[in-house]
Each structure stands twice: as structure tokens, then as C-alpha cells.
Amino acid sequence: MLKRTITLLGLTITVGALLLTIGCGGHNGTLPTAHSDQFMSVNPARGGQPPSKPVLGLFVTIWGDKFLVVRAEDPDQDRLQYKIVMSGNPHNFTFDQTQSSEGWLNNPWSNPNYVNSYASGQYGWFKLPRDFPKGAYQAQAYAYDGTNWTEGDVRTFIIR
């Protein structure tokens, strides 16, 4: 009973921290519009508008697991893939979901399977390896809807 209570408390704290770090709001800007005198390229297989700038956060569980969490929205509801570039002296890492789905999780608690894309607005979870080098990193998130890459948050993280 105590173990279940501690686990529930830990999950509550972690979800609260995640919402505080990343937020749970929707699109806060205006959507781009095209006028008749502008050329607008539209891929018929995908929507013509790029995804929103992705928001990036670092999430650490009470068990020491570290996740990079990213979220973006696509106005055309295209599925999204993410890339996170982390730069730190002397280590640099790129976690690109378009190249490999390894480490990219749908839900780190109830369904820890690797996924190759996310629905628009769905949180993307990348689990850092246990032996990930400690240090300060500058990280930037990118979102891809199959046509357009969008740059997003640049954050500084200290991995301990």
C-alpha cells in the first residue's frame, strides 16, 4: 500500500512539473494567411502550413529517468516528427525521429513502445540513456510535418 501511495505521489508531482515546464495551452499566435497576389505552395498529400514552433522541456522522474519532452501543433493536423539537437562541451547529440524512432516513446509509463510520429499537439517523449554524459547542454527542438521543418525552443539544461 505504501509503495503504491509513493508511486502515485511521484507521478502526480512529475505530471505537475511537466505541465509547469511545458504548459498545456494551445496555439497562441495567429495563423498565416495567403492573399491572391502571393504564391502559396501546397503539397496535396499534406497540408500547406508548417507546424508551430515546438516547445521543449526536460523531465526527470523520482527514479532518475530523464526525458526530453517536446510538443508542437500542426494547423493541418499532419502527424509530426521531432528532432532535438543538444550541444555541450565536449559532447554533441542529435535525436532525430526522421532517422530513427529508438528512444522516442508514445507514453513513458503505460505504453513504453518506440513510435515514429505523433499526432498534432501530442507530447513527444525522448528517453535519455542512463549513461548520458553529465554537464550543461544547450538544446533546440525542431518539428517536421512531412514537408516543413520548424525551429523551436532553445533551452539550457544541466544533466546531473
Beta strands in 4-132 (DSSP E): 55-60, 66-71, 81-87, 92-96, 104-107, 111-114, 124-127
Look at residue 38 and tell me if it is in a domain: no
pLDDT band for position 40 (cuts 50, 70, 90): very low
Distance CA 36, CA 28 (A): 26
Look at residue 145 and tell me if it is in a domain: yes
Look at residue 147 and tell me if it is in a domain: yes
Q: Say how many C-beta atoms besides its own lie within 10 A of residue 146's C-beta.
A: 17
CATH of the domain at 120: 2.60.40.10
pLDDT band for position 13 (cuts 50, 70, 90): low
Residues 6+ apart with CB under 8 A from 16: none
Domain that holds residue 59: 2-24+48-159
Look at residue 79 and tell me if it is in a domain: yes
Nearest 10 degrees: Cα torsion 42, 29, 127, 159? 130
Interior CA angle at 110 toward 108 and 115, to 5°?
Answer: 55
Look at residue 149 and tell me if it is in a domain: yes
pLDDT tens-digit map of 72-128: 999 999 999 999 999 998 889 999 999 999 999 987 777 678 999 999 999 999 999
Query: Does the pTM exceed 0.75?
Result: no
Look at residue 31 and tell me if it is in a domain: no
Identify the H or E element spanning 12: helix 2-22
Look at residue 102 and tell me if it is in a domain: yes
Instruction: Using DSSP bridges, classify how beta strands 124-127 and 66-71 pair: parallel, antiparallel or unpaired.
Output: antiparallel
The domain total for the chain is 1
Q: Which of 6-15, 22-31, 141-150 has the lowest mean pLDDT?
A: 22-31
pLDDT tens-digit map of 26-35: 333 333 333 3
